[in-house]
Amino acid sequence: MYCIYCITCDVKLWWNCGWRWDNTKPIPFISLYIEFYN
């Protein structure tokens, strides 16, 4: 599973962290951390 969250935002935004992955996910952020979970 992918867990992407913004580190450059005041509020951390989580994508696919317990939710399904959306193809229309907003990724206008410069710095993104991606973590892999089995």
pLDDT for 37? 55
pTM of the model: 0.17
pLDDT for 4? 56
What tens digit of pLDDT does each residue of 1-38 get? 455 555 444 444 554 454 444 444 544 443 455 555 54
Assign 3-class secondary structure to 1-38.
Answer: CEEEEECCCCCCCEECCCCCCCCCCCCCCCCEEEEECC
Dihedral of CA atoms 29, 38, 24, 34 in degrees, nearest 10, equals 10
